[in-house]
Amino acid sequence: MPDGDRRLVVGLRNPGDRYEGTRHNVGAAVVDILLSRHGAKLKRGRRSLRAEVAELSMHGHGVVMALPNTFVNNSGEAIGPLARYYDIDPAEVLIVYDDIDLPFAKLRVRFGGSAGGQNGIKSAIAGLGTQDFWRLKIGVGRPRGRTSPAAHVLARFPKNQREEIGVTIQHAADLAETFITDGGDTARQRAGELNTEH
């Protein structure tokens, strides 16, 4: 199903009800919002794709939205096959995920570079065979006290953060739409503007 004018947007997540609402699943929450906005639903993809997938047109641009059925740390096992099956160049891929090194509720759009300690991105680099893809990072902040980073990302947001992270996830969905319609450079510029607004 090759289509030269399509982009791929992937929200990283750990599958299963027990992980819903956790910091590690904010990427999936962004994809869910986009699907809801455009009246689209995920379908289970071919077994080899290891993901739930929706194909749609957004403002005249073709996009494949996907949530891997792998755990975050193995996301590349889904992302690589998805990009190849749909014949989408890695430079047209956006991966949305949580970042503990980014302050809470901040957003950053970046192209290329290392995984920065994020195992899901390390796996995506291996799966795509390149670092040259877009990332939309959602800041979840570092843990306080003795909480380990692993426990931090697998926990849900405390009540006093839920309203703000909800707004941030909506803004992240806006940025993903900008990526789809106007490209990564425009989305990156808009992310910088959003961070200075609040």
Summarised one tens digit per residue, pLDDT across range 149-187 is 999 999 999 999 999 999 999 999 999 999 999 999 999
Return d(Cα 123, Cα 73) in angstroms, integer: 6
The catalytic residue positions are 24
User: Looking at domain 6-197, which CATH architecture does it have?
Assistant: 3-Layer(aba) Sandwich (3.40)
Across the range 11-33, mean pLDDT stands at: 97
pLDDT tens readout for residues 42-76: 998 888 899 999 999 998 899 999 999 999 999 99
Asked whether residue 3 carries a pLDDT value surpassing 70, the answer given is no
pLDDT tens readout for residues 77-123: 999 999 999 999 999 999 999 999 999 999 999 999 999 889 999 99
Q: What is the structure's pLDDT at 198?
A: 60
Asked whether residue 124 carries a pLDDT value surpassing 50, the answer given is yes
Under 8 Å between Cβ of 94 and 112: no
Q: What is the structure's pLDDT at 5?
A: 77
Q: What is the structure's pLDDT at 48?
A: 84
Q: Which of 14, 5, 49 is nearest to 119 (CA)?
A: 14
Residue 84 CB neighbours (<10 A): 14
- Delimit the domains of the chain by residue range: 6-197
Asked whether residue 4 carries a pLDDT value surpassing 60, the answer given is no
pTM of the model: 0.95
Q: What is the structure's pLDDT at 127?
A: 98
Q: What is the structure's pLDDT at 1?
A: 37
Return d(Cα 31, Cα 10) in angstroms, integer: 7
Return d(Cα 37, Cα 27) in angstroms, integer: 16
